[in-house]
Amino acid sequence: MERVRCLIIGSGPAGYTAAIYTGRANISPVLYEGLQAGGQLTTTTEVENFPGFPEGVTGPQLMENMRSQAMKFGADIRMGIVTKVDFNQRPFKIEIDEEKELLADTVIIATGASAKYLGLDDEKKYAGMGVSACATCDGFFYRNKTVAVVGGGDTACEEATYLAGLARKVYLLVRKPYLRASKIMQDRVMGNDKIEVLFEHNAVGLYGDNGVEGVHVVRRKGEADETRYDLPIDGFFLAIGHRPNTEVFAPFIDCDETGYIITKDGTPRTNVAGVFAAGDVADTQYRQAVTAAGSGCKAAIEVERYLVENGL
Protein backbone atom coordinates (compact mmCIF):
# COMPACT_ATOMS: atom_id res chain seq x y z
CA MET A 1 0.00 0.00 0.00
CA GLU A 2 1.29 3.46 -0.92
CA ARG A 3 2.51 5.58 2.00
CA VAL A 4 2.91 9.36 1.80
CA ARG A 5 4.39 11.83 4.27
CA CYS A 6 1.69 14.44 3.70
CA LEU A 7 -1.73 14.03 2.13
CA ILE A 8 -3.60 17.23 1.23
CA ILE A 9 -7.34 16.84 0.69
CA GLY A 10 -8.86 19.67 -1.36
CA SER A 11 -7.65 22.01 -4.04
CA GLY A 12 -8.66 25.60 -3.35
CA PRO A 13 -6.24 28.36 -2.26
CA ALA A 14 -5.65 26.56 1.07
CA GLY A 15 -4.84 23.18 -0.47
CA TYR A 16 -2.64 24.52 -3.25
CA THR A 17 -0.73 26.85 -0.89
CA ALA A 18 -0.15 23.97 1.52
CA ALA A 19 1.17 21.96 -1.45
CA ILE A 20 3.54 24.79 -2.44
CA TYR A 21 4.99 25.03 1.07
CA THR A 22 5.25 21.28 1.76
CA GLY A 23 6.70 20.79 -1.72
CA ARG A 24 9.41 23.39 -1.08
CA ALA A 25 10.13 21.68 2.25
CA ASN A 26 10.93 18.47 0.34
CA ILE A 27 8.00 16.59 1.89
CA SER A 28 6.69 15.37 -1.50
CA PRO A 29 3.01 16.04 -0.77
CA VAL A 30 0.17 14.21 -2.53
CA LEU A 31 -2.94 16.32 -3.16
CA TYR A 32 -6.36 15.02 -4.15
CA GLU A 33 -8.40 17.69 -5.90
CA GLY A 34 -11.89 16.47 -5.03
CA LEU A 35 -15.12 17.19 -6.90
CA GLN A 36 -14.26 20.73 -7.93
CA ALA A 37 -10.61 21.27 -8.79
CA GLY A 38 -9.75 24.81 -7.71
CA GLY A 39 -12.67 25.04 -5.30
CA GLN A 40 -15.22 27.84 -5.08
CA LEU A 41 -12.94 30.33 -6.85
CA THR A 42 -13.40 28.51 -10.14
CA THR A 43 -17.01 29.79 -10.16
CA THR A 44 -15.85 33.40 -9.74
CA THR A 45 -15.16 35.35 -12.89
CA GLU A 46 -13.01 38.29 -11.76
CA VAL A 47 -10.89 38.40 -8.60
CA GLU A 48 -9.72 41.95 -7.90
CA ASN A 49 -8.69 41.73 -4.25
CA PHE A 50 -5.97 39.04 -4.31
CA PRO A 51 -2.59 40.72 -3.66
CA GLY A 52 -0.18 40.83 -6.58
CA PHE A 53 -2.75 41.21 -9.36
CA PRO A 54 -3.32 44.96 -9.81
CA GLU A 55 -5.34 44.36 -12.98
CA GLY A 56 -7.33 41.54 -11.42
CA VAL A 57 -7.32 37.88 -12.40
CA THR A 58 -10.05 35.35 -13.11
CA GLY A 59 -10.75 32.77 -10.43
CA PRO A 60 -9.86 29.81 -12.68
CA GLN A 61 -6.60 31.48 -13.77
CA LEU A 62 -5.57 32.22 -10.18
CA MET A 63 -6.18 28.59 -9.24
CA GLU A 64 -4.30 27.33 -12.30
CA ASN A 65 -1.34 29.55 -11.32
CA MET A 66 -1.33 28.13 -7.78
CA ARG A 67 -1.65 24.57 -9.10
CA SER A 68 1.28 25.03 -11.49
CA GLN A 69 3.38 26.51 -8.69
CA ALA A 70 2.64 23.53 -6.43
CA MET A 71 3.60 21.10 -9.21
CA LYS A 72 6.81 23.04 -9.83
CA PHE A 73 7.85 22.24 -6.26
CA GLY A 74 7.09 18.55 -6.57
CA ALA A 75 3.51 18.22 -5.41
CA ASP A 76 1.80 15.12 -6.80
CA ILE A 77 -1.65 16.41 -7.76
CA ARG A 78 -4.28 13.77 -8.50
CA MET A 79 -7.93 13.53 -9.45
CA GLY A 80 -10.08 11.79 -6.88
CA ILE A 81 -12.38 12.12 -3.91
CA VAL A 82 -11.61 10.97 -0.39
CA THR A 83 -14.52 8.69 0.52
CA LYS A 84 -13.36 7.30 3.87
CA VAL A 85 -10.70 7.95 6.51
CA ASP A 86 -9.42 6.17 9.59
CA PHE A 87 -7.63 8.58 11.91
CA ASN A 88 -7.50 6.06 14.77
CA GLN A 89 -4.59 4.17 13.23
CA ARG A 90 -1.13 5.47 12.41
CA PRO A 91 -0.14 6.08 9.75
CA PHE A 92 -3.61 7.34 8.88
CA LYS A 93 -5.59 5.24 6.40
CA ILE A 94 -7.44 7.02 3.58
CA GLU A 95 -9.74 5.60 0.92
CA ILE A 96 -9.98 7.29 -2.49
CA ASP A 97 -13.02 6.88 -4.76
CA GLU A 98 -14.20 3.89 -2.68
CA GLU A 99 -11.43 1.69 -4.10
CA LYS A 100 -7.82 2.86 -3.68
CA GLU A 101 -6.30 3.02 -0.19
CA LEU A 102 -3.18 4.80 0.98
CA LEU A 103 -1.38 5.59 4.24
CA ALA A 104 -0.40 9.10 5.32
CA ASP A 105 1.86 10.30 8.14
CA THR A 106 0.10 13.69 8.14
CA VAL A 107 -3.11 15.03 6.62
CA ILE A 108 -4.19 18.56 5.73
CA ILE A 109 -7.95 18.88 5.34
CA ALA A 110 -8.72 21.72 2.91
CA THR A 111 -12.08 20.60 1.55
CA GLY A 112 -13.68 24.05 1.89
CA ALA A 113 -17.30 25.00 2.45
CA SER A 114 -20.08 25.15 -0.10
CA ALA A 115 -22.46 28.10 -0.15
CA LYS A 116 -26.08 27.12 0.32
CA TYR A 117 -28.36 27.98 -2.60
CA LEU A 118 -32.12 28.16 -2.92
CA GLY A 119 -32.10 25.39 -5.51
CA LEU A 120 -33.43 27.46 -8.41
CA ASP A 121 -32.36 26.46 -11.92
CA ASP A 122 -31.72 30.16 -12.59
CA GLU A 123 -28.99 30.22 -9.94
CA LYS A 124 -26.94 27.88 -12.13
CA LYS A 125 -27.97 29.66 -15.32
CA TYR A 126 -26.71 33.03 -14.09
CA ALA A 127 -23.68 31.78 -12.10
CA GLY A 128 -20.96 34.39 -12.56
CA MET A 129 -23.48 36.59 -14.43
CA GLY A 130 -25.16 38.30 -11.52
CA VAL A 131 -25.52 35.50 -8.97
CA SER A 132 -23.04 35.45 -6.10
CA ALA A 133 -22.66 33.96 -2.63
CA CYS A 134 -19.97 36.38 -1.50
CA ALA A 135 -20.59 40.12 -1.18
CA THR A 136 -17.00 40.93 -0.22
CA CYS A 137 -15.76 39.02 -3.28
CA ASP A 138 -18.14 40.48 -5.86
CA GLY A 139 -19.78 43.58 -4.37
CA PHE A 140 -17.30 45.89 -6.07
CA PHE A 141 -18.85 45.06 -9.46
CA TYR A 142 -22.20 46.51 -8.33
CA ARG A 143 -21.17 50.04 -7.45
CA ASN A 144 -24.12 52.38 -7.94
CA LYS A 145 -26.32 49.47 -9.03
CA THR A 146 -29.33 47.74 -7.49
CA VAL A 147 -28.91 44.38 -5.77
CA ALA A 148 -30.94 41.90 -3.74
CA VAL A 149 -29.67 39.86 -0.79
CA VAL A 150 -31.51 36.70 0.27
CA GLY A 151 -31.53 35.79 3.96
CA GLY A 152 -32.58 36.98 7.37
CA GLY A 153 -29.67 36.10 9.66
CA ASP A 154 -26.47 37.87 10.68
CA THR A 155 -24.69 36.93 7.45
CA ALA A 156 -27.47 38.40 5.29
CA CYS A 157 -27.58 41.63 7.33
CA GLU A 158 -23.80 41.92 7.22
CA GLU A 159 -23.74 41.40 3.44
CA ALA A 160 -26.60 43.87 2.92
CA THR A 161 -24.80 46.48 5.03
CA TYR A 162 -21.54 45.90 3.15
CA LEU A 163 -23.27 46.17 -0.22
CA ALA A 164 -25.09 49.35 0.86
CA GLY A 165 -21.65 51.01 0.98
CA LEU A 166 -21.25 50.28 -2.73
CA ALA A 167 -24.63 49.84 -4.38
CA ARG A 168 -27.30 52.44 -5.06
CA LYS A 169 -30.04 50.28 -3.55
CA VAL A 170 -30.15 47.00 -1.63
CA TYR A 171 -33.26 44.85 -1.22
CA LEU A 172 -33.13 42.30 1.60
CA LEU A 173 -35.48 39.42 0.76
CA VAL A 174 -36.59 37.74 3.99
CA ARG A 175 -38.77 34.63 3.92
CA LYS A 176 -40.12 35.13 7.42
CA PRO A 177 -41.98 38.17 8.85
CA TYR A 178 -38.94 38.99 11.03
CA LEU A 179 -35.14 39.01 10.99
CA ARG A 180 -33.23 36.24 12.77
CA ALA A 181 -30.13 38.42 13.04
CA SER A 182 -28.74 39.77 16.30
CA LYS A 183 -30.19 43.05 17.55
CA ILE A 184 -27.13 45.09 16.58
CA MET A 185 -27.22 43.76 12.99
CA GLN A 186 -30.97 44.38 12.75
CA ASP A 187 -30.46 47.99 13.89
CA ARG A 188 -27.76 48.53 11.28
CA VAL A 189 -30.00 47.27 8.50
CA MET A 190 -33.12 49.14 9.61
CA GLY A 191 -31.15 52.33 10.09
CA ASN A 192 -29.62 52.26 6.60
CA ASP A 193 -31.72 54.24 4.13
CA LYS A 194 -30.17 52.37 1.18
CA ILE A 195 -31.53 49.01 2.42
CA GLU A 196 -35.17 48.06 1.98
CA VAL A 197 -36.25 44.93 3.85
CA LEU A 198 -38.96 42.93 2.09
CA PHE A 199 -40.44 40.60 4.71
CA GLU A 200 -42.35 37.44 3.74
CA HIS A 201 -40.80 37.47 0.27
CA ASN A 202 -39.56 34.39 -1.59
CA ALA A 203 -37.35 34.54 -4.66
CA VAL A 204 -38.71 31.99 -7.16
CA GLY A 205 -36.69 32.79 -10.28
CA LEU A 206 -34.42 35.23 -12.09
CA TYR A 207 -34.62 36.82 -15.51
CA GLY A 208 -32.37 38.68 -17.93
CA ASP A 209 -30.84 38.31 -21.38
CA ASN A 210 -27.09 38.56 -20.76
CA GLY A 211 -27.10 38.34 -17.00
CA VAL A 212 -29.42 39.04 -14.11
CA GLU A 213 -31.85 41.89 -14.80
CA GLY A 214 -34.42 41.04 -12.14
CA VAL A 215 -35.90 38.55 -9.72
CA HIS A 216 -39.35 36.95 -9.71
CA VAL A 217 -40.71 37.26 -6.16
CA VAL A 218 -43.73 35.97 -4.28
CA ARG A 219 -45.04 37.94 -1.31
CA ARG A 220 -46.81 35.95 1.44
CA LYS A 221 -46.48 32.69 -0.46
CA GLY A 222 -49.38 30.30 0.10
CA GLU A 223 -51.54 32.90 1.89
CA ALA A 224 -54.90 34.23 0.66
CA ASP A 225 -53.31 37.57 -0.24
CA GLU A 226 -50.31 36.03 -2.07
CA THR A 227 -48.91 38.38 -4.71
CA ARG A 228 -46.30 37.82 -7.41
CA TYR A 229 -44.25 40.49 -9.12
CA ASP A 230 -40.89 41.18 -10.75
CA LEU A 231 -38.21 43.23 -9.01
CA PRO A 232 -35.56 44.78 -11.31
CA ILE A 233 -32.03 44.19 -9.94
CA ASP A 234 -28.47 43.90 -11.29
CA GLY A 235 -27.10 41.41 -8.76
CA PHE A 236 -28.51 38.56 -6.67
CA PHE A 237 -26.60 37.62 -3.50
CA LEU A 238 -27.24 34.44 -1.51
CA ALA A 239 -26.60 34.79 2.23
CA ILE A 240 -28.34 31.76 3.68
CA GLY A 241 -25.21 30.14 5.05
CA HIS A 242 -22.41 27.77 4.09
CA ARG A 243 -22.03 24.04 4.52
CA PRO A 244 -18.49 22.88 5.35
CA ASN A 245 -17.45 19.73 3.51
CA THR A 246 -16.56 17.68 6.59
CA GLU A 247 -18.94 14.71 6.61
CA VAL A 248 -16.25 12.12 5.93
CA PHE A 249 -14.05 13.40 8.79
CA ALA A 250 -16.79 13.94 11.39
CA PRO A 251 -16.36 10.57 13.18
CA PHE A 252 -12.77 11.54 14.13
CA ILE A 253 -12.44 15.32 14.01
CA ASP A 254 -14.11 17.74 16.42
CA CYS A 255 -16.53 20.04 14.57
CA ASP A 256 -18.96 22.72 15.72
CA GLU A 257 -22.75 22.32 15.41
CA THR A 258 -22.66 23.53 11.79
CA GLY A 259 -19.87 21.16 10.80
CA TYR A 260 -16.87 23.52 10.76
CA ILE A 261 -13.66 21.92 12.04
CA ILE A 262 -12.59 23.22 15.44
CA THR A 263 -8.89 24.11 15.51
CA LYS A 264 -6.70 24.75 18.54
CA ASP A 265 -5.48 28.13 19.79
CA GLY A 266 -5.48 29.92 16.45
CA THR A 267 -3.39 27.19 14.79
CA PRO A 268 -4.46 24.70 12.08
CA ARG A 269 -4.14 21.82 14.60
CA THR A 270 -7.19 19.61 15.14
CA ASN A 271 -7.97 17.27 18.04
CA VAL A 272 -6.04 14.51 16.19
CA ALA A 273 -2.27 15.05 16.28
CA GLY A 274 -0.92 15.06 12.73
CA VAL A 275 -4.20 16.14 11.16
CA PHE A 276 -4.53 19.82 10.27
CA ALA A 277 -7.34 21.95 8.82
CA ALA A 278 -6.93 24.89 6.45
CA GLY A 279 -9.21 27.26 4.58
CA ASP A 280 -12.98 27.61 4.65
CA VAL A 281 -13.47 24.17 6.22
CA ALA A 282 -12.40 25.73 9.53
CA ASP A 283 -13.25 29.40 8.86
CA THR A 284 -16.66 30.65 9.92
CA GLN A 285 -15.67 34.31 9.71
CA TYR A 286 -13.69 35.45 6.68
CA ARG A 287 -13.92 32.94 3.81
CA GLN A 288 -11.55 34.83 1.51
CA ALA A 289 -9.01 33.40 -0.92
CA VAL A 290 -6.17 35.26 0.79
CA THR A 291 -7.06 34.05 4.30
CA ALA A 292 -7.45 30.49 2.98
CA ALA A 293 -4.01 30.70 1.36
CA GLY A 294 -2.54 31.99 4.64
CA SER A 295 -4.02 29.11 6.60
CA GLY A 296 -2.66 26.66 4.02
CA CYS A 297 0.80 28.07 4.65
CA LYS A 298 0.33 27.65 8.43
CA ALA A 299 -0.85 24.06 8.03
CA ALA A 300 2.18 23.21 5.88
CA ILE A 301 4.58 24.65 8.47
CA GLU A 302 2.81 22.63 11.19
CA VAL A 303 3.17 19.48 9.08
CA GLU A 304 6.90 20.06 8.68
CA ARG A 305 7.33 20.53 12.45
CA TYR A 306 5.24 17.46 13.24
CA LEU A 307 7.23 15.24 10.87
CA VAL A 308 10.55 16.40 12.34
CA GLU A 309 9.39 16.06 15.95
CA ASN A 310 8.13 12.52 15.31
CA GLY A 311 11.09 11.35 13.25
CA LEU A 312 9.00 10.90 10.12
Partners of residue 196 on adjacent β-strands: 171
CB neighbours of residue 275 within 10 Å? 25
Question: What distances in angstroms separate CA 312 from CA 4, 274, 282, 285, 300, one per listed residue?
Answer: 10, 11, 26, 34, 15
For residues 13 and 255, what is the distance between their CA atoms, to the nearest angstrom?
21
What is the chain's pLDDT, residue by residue, as a tens digit (312 residues)? 999 999 999 999 999 999 999 999 999 999 999 877 777 777 666 788 899 999 999 888 999 999 999 999 999 999 999 999 999 999 999 999 999 999 999 999 999 988 889 999 999 999 889 999 988 888 999 999 999 999 999 889 989 999 999 999 999 999 999 999 999 999 999 999 999 999 999 999 999 999 999 999 999 999 999 999 999 999 999 999 889 999 999 999 999 999 999 999 999 999 999 999 999 999 988 888 999 999 999 999 999 999 999 999
- The crossing angle, in degrees rounded to 10, of helices 154-164 and 183-190 is 30
Q: Is the dihedral of CA 251, 253, 256, 259 positive or negative?
A: negative
91: cis peptide before it, omega within 30°? yes
What residues are labeled active site?
134, 137-138
Q: 51 burial class (0-12, 13-18, 19+ CB within 10 angstroms)? A: exposed
